[in-house]
């Protein structure tokens, strides 16, 4: 995937992908690598579906409970932990509870950062990574290094798959609501008037190019 600097001048919600926008939020302790990951992910413009990525801007350093508005409308939640820091990993339980309360329908991805460090490599080998992923209810996971770029392209694909899965469920729910005589709005859209300091648009691989088999769960 070719990474180029993404433009922030485009009107929110408008893109070559017919205005489909997915909200993606980052969760994790202060120092877990969220901001570096945020910068890495928003470097690219791959010509797919637009996503609006939210970073906490270190708010969690002062208050571990983020506002409801941070989660509202999220299609995907990325649980971030520093693979070289056991406390950072253990804190994911707290953030997972928050995600379950405020974004219960969002797809979740577990991401271990700072994989370029020797400590992280040893930790990742010794931990039962897959069982931890299952315990948090994350159907997708990634090990990345924002410093070297390792795993970033694969993570972008997994975010796209997660948003595709969420979108499919929203369409399914809307259809069922119409069948029952009601109307349920699709929650994948973003209502905010424009990107704030902790928000950036970035491009994902097009939903329609992803195999449906990747989107189970």
What is the CATH classification number for the domain harbouring 97?
3.40.50.300
Q: How many domains does the chain have?
A: 1
Global pTM value: 0.68
Asked if the structure places residue 137 within a domain, the reply is: yes
Q: What is the pLDDT of residues 200-214, one digit of tens each?
A: 555 555 544 444 434
Tokens of 17: 């992908």
Query: Distance between CA 97 and CA 104 in Å, rounded?
Result: 10
Domain membership of residue 161 (yes or no) is yes
Examine residue 216 and state whether it is found in any structural domain, yes or no. Answer: no
Instruction: Kindly report, residue by residue over 52-67, the tens digit of the pLDDT.
Output: 676 655 554 445 555 6
pLDDT of residue 210: 42
Given a contact cutoff of 8 angstroms between Cβ atoms, the answer to whether 24 and 52 are in contact is yes
pLDDT bracket for residue 164 (50, 70, 90): confident
CB neighbour list of residue 162: distance below 8 Å, 6 or more residues apart? 75, 76, 107, 108, 109, 139, 140
Average pLDDT of 6-19? 36
The DSSP output letter for 33 is S
- Domain range holding 118? 21-207
In a domain, 214, yes or no: no
pLDDT confidence of 110, banded at 50, 70, 90? Answer: very high
- Alpha carbon 60 to its chain centroid, in Å, reads 17
- Identify which has the larger pLDDT, 111 or 41: 111
């Amino acid at each position: 995937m070719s990474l180029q600097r993404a433009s922030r001048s485009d009107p929110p919600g408008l893109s070559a992908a017919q205005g489909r926008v997915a909200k993606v939020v980052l969760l994790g302790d202060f120092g877990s690598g969220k901001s570096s990951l945020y910068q890495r992910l928003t470097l690219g413009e791959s010509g797919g579906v637009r996503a609006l990525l939210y970073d906490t801007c270190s708010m969690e350093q002062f208050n571990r409970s983020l506002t409801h508005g941070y989660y509202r409308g999220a299609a995907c939640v990325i649980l971030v932990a520093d693979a070289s820091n056991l406390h950072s990993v253990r804190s994911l339980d707290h953030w997972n509870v928050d995600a379950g309360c405020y974004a219960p329908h969002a797809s979740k991805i577990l991401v271990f950062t700072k994989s370029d460090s020797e400590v992280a490599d040893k930790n990742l080998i010794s931990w039962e990574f897959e069982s931890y992923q299952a315990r948090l209810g994350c159907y997708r996971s990634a090990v990345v290094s924002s410093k070297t770029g390792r795993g970033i392209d694969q993570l972008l694909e997994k975010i796209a798959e997660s948003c595709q899965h969420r979108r499919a469920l929203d369409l399914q729910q809307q259809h069922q609501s119409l069948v029952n005589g009601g109307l349920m709005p699709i929650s994948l859209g973003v209502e905010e008037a424009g990107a704030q300091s902790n928000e950036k648009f970035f491009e994902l691989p097009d939903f329609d190019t992803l195999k449906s088999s990747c989107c189970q769960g």
